[in-house]
Structures are given as structure tokens and as C-alpha cells.
Amino acid sequence: MQQLLISSLFISLVLFVSVILLGSKTSFADNELYTGGAPNAEAIGWKIGCQAYSFNRFTFFEAIDKVASIGLHYIEAYPGQKLSKETGDVVFDHNISPELQQKVKEKLQQANVKLINYGVVNLPNNEEECRKVFDFAKAMGIETIVSEPPANAMQLVDKLTGEYGIKVAIHNHPKPSLYWDYKKVLEVTKDVSPRIGSCADTGHWMRSGIKPMEAIEALGTRIISFHLKDLGEFGKRDAHDVIWGTGQADIKAILTYLYKQGFKGVFSIEYEYNWENSLPEISQCVKYFDAVAKELSGK
């Protein structure tokens, strides 16, 4: 009887240790820093980078370094982030001086990172104010301005996209923001050029109770870029980001659909969780993204 009890205790101990070790292994995998970038995604014409808002507890220069450290070559800036530790309270936006613009260009070149998108930034129905943003974007080599312009500004914005050769992607914040419903984006873009389209934020759609695939299929070629997110819960305003492929967005189905449609736009990772230490999780998103791209391309 005593021997049976000892055996049972030993088996229980082994099972307990196994569970602990397995849990530790899973946790480590989730927090392991992947630095391989996305070569398979790049090979099929997909540009993946980070929205600097993922690193809003850090400076823009630190965000550039973080993006480069995981093997990515693209960044999307947002207005208002502190520029660098050396420049104190100076923020990076379209009002920054030409001298500091040059310093940013040098930093980007050193890190082998391209500033590809800028936003979310206001584009009001005011030509002078809009031109400030477009002039800045042209000077910095930015391809797409991300904004939520009012409907009455669409014709002005359309004119400027043609003049500057810069696209505008309409972002969707959650309900009750102006463009929370993708149908509103379709409505305001029906009479403008393809230079104006959607910056598809999958996480904010989920928070608003909209399934990402529904919106993506409806928007079709109007999608210019993504703020790609995967959330742990659907239909909850306070749901938080999780590593791609582990949440409710069905990222693989989204990527499969986009690949079949020949999408060639920009995917910005905007990871709004674990702000101080999110880089390992962001890097695992990149790893998953590139693995799916490899599977889709058959290589």
C-alpha cells in the first residue's frame, strides 16, 4: 500500500514538472526575439513594417532601431512621437524643420529602413493645411498619407494626391468614429481616383463588431495599406493584440485571400499591447507572416 502511494506521488510529481516545463517552453517561444525579417513576403511583393505607434513609449529613433533589429525595412510614422533622446521634447511630425528632416533621413539610411507611410494625420478641407502635410511627405519620400479626412475634403485631397503623386489611405478607428464602418469609406471614395483608398485596421474592425474578411472583400482594390492586427476577442472594445495567427482575426485566411487577389500594398504592424516589451511578440508576428507567405508562394 505504501509502495503504491509512493508511486502515485512520483507520477503526480512527474506530471506536475512536465506541465511547468511545457508552460515555460510555450512562454519562451512567445517571447523569443525573431530577427529574420520577411524575405518570403518581400519575394511576393509584400512590404511589412511597423507603425511606430507600437513603440510610443520610446522615441522615433528608438522605434527605427527596433524595426531594424527584427530584420524589417519599413516604418510608418505618426505625428507627435518624440524624435530622439538627444532632441528632448522635439516631436516628429510634418512641422519639423528641414535640418531635422535631414537627420531623420540619415538615421533611416543608417538603419536601412524606409519611412513609407505617415499617419494618422489630419487632412482638413483647407488647402494650406493639407499642403503642409503633402510637402512634408514629398520631402521625406513617403508613399502614403494615412488620415481620416472629412467627406467635404475628398475632392481637395484627390487633387493633391494627383499633384504630388502620393496616396491617401483612409483609416478606421473603432465605433463611433467617422470611418468605423467600411461602407463609409466606399461611400466617400466612389467619385475619386484610386489614389484614395483604405488603410484597413483589422483590429479596430473587430472592436466594432465587423469581421475583417467581410470588410476586406467589400473594399477590394480600394485597400491601399493595412494596420494589421490580431485580437484575442471579437466584438470587445478593450480586446488586446495577440501574436498573429493566435487570435480571432483569421490572419491566414486574410493573407491567403490577399495573395489570390494580387495585393501588393504595405502591412504595418500596429501592436497596441505590452507597450514596454512588445518587440518579441511583434517579431513573432513577422515570423508567422513570412511563414504564411512562404506557404502561399509554394517555396
Per-residue confidence (pLDDT) for residue 29, from 0 to 100: 58
Summarize the confidence of residues 24-32 as an average pLDDT: 53
Is it the case that residue 103 has pLDDT exceeding 60? yes
Residue identified by cell 505618426 is 78
Per-residue confidence (pLDDT) for residue 22, from 0 to 100: 36
Residues facing 228 on adjacent strands: 269
Q: Is the dihedral of CA 209, 212, 213, 216 positive or negative?
A: positive
Identify the burial level of 262 via C-beta atoms within 10 angstroms of its C-beta, where 0-12 means exposed, 13-18 middle and 19 or more buried. Answer: exposed
pLDDT, tens only, 134-167:
999 999 999 999 999 999 999 999 999 999 999 9
Per-residue confidence (pLDDT) for residue 30, from 0 to 100: 63
Is it the case that residue 237 has pLDDT exceeding 70? yes
What is the gyration radius of the CA atoms in the chain, in angstroms? 22
The pTM of the whole model exceeds 0.85? yes
Summarize the confidence of residues 213-220 as an average pLDDT: 98
Work out the pLDDT band at 51, boundaries 50, 70, 90: very high
* Cα dist from 286 to 79, 127, 221, whole Å: 24, 38, 24
Work out the pLDDT band at 31, boundaries 50, 70, 90: confident
Is it the case that residue 120 has pLDDT exceeding 60? yes
